[in-house]
Amino acid sequence: MLPVKCIMHDPLPADPSRPFDIGGAVLSALGPDILADDFDMEAAIARLRRDPERDVATALLDQRSVSGIGNVFKCETLFLERVWPWARVADLDDDTLRRLVGRARALMRRNLDGRPRRTHFSLDPRELMWVDERTGRPCRVCGTPIVWGWHPDEVRKSWYCPSCQSVPAGAVVRR
């Protein structure tokens, strides 16, 4: 018998730290599905704010906040909105969070055709991304070499432009 995949959408505001126990499997409540036609932006923003001390890149990957954003679209979204991946959620206003989530949603919905993922829509089909996995290559906006760094307690790193994405003075990124 094939294993059954169970995805649970909770209809009520739920505490993301409180797991559900279903038949022995512990599942946490997922955030709103970013690709859904009736995506609930305000619910997503409220969930992103539940852990205001973490960095925004980590928050965007948390499926309990918003369901569906992967690392490529996270990096590309943060670049396109000029937000430094290590900015604390607490330091970003609601409009910025809405722009980030809206941008990720638009990019992902534009990538539903089964073709190679892309966020950089130029005539050259080999140039698919702005920053993701472009280490050392020039930023397409300002020419500064693209760099990357790790996040605390997170296995996925961020690529970013240190000029376009307003790195705070004195900030240290682990590499």
Nearer CB in complex with Zn ion: 105/134: 134
Nearer CB in complex with Zn ion: 89/128: 128
Q: How far is the CB of 167 from Zn ion (least distance, A)?
A: 11
Nearer CB in complex with Zn ion: 68/162: 162
Q: Token pair for residue 51?
A: 């852990």
How many whole angstroms separate alpha carbon 14 and alpha carbon 16? 6
Within a 10 A sphere around the Cβ of 50, how many other Cβ atoms?
17
Q: Do β-strands 25-27 and 154-160 pair in parallel, antiparallel, or remain unpaired?
A: unpaired
Q: How far is the CB of 139 from Zn ion (least distance, A)?
A: 3
Nearer CB in complex with Zn ion: 73/159: 159
Q: How far is the CB of 78 from Zn ion (least distance, A)?
A: 12
Which residues contact Zn ion (rule: CB under 5 A)? 139, 141-142, 144, 161, 163-164
Cα-Cα end-to-end distance for the chain: 44
Q: How far is the CB of 37 from Zn ion (least distance, A)?
A: 34
- CA 76 distance to own-chain centroid: 9
Nearer CB in complex with Zn ion: 19/145: 145
Cα dist. 86→58, 66, 95, 142 in Å? 8, 18, 18, 20
How many whole angstroms separate alpha carbon 15 and alpha carbon 39? 20
Q: How far is the CB of 146 from Zn ion (least distance, A)?
A: 8
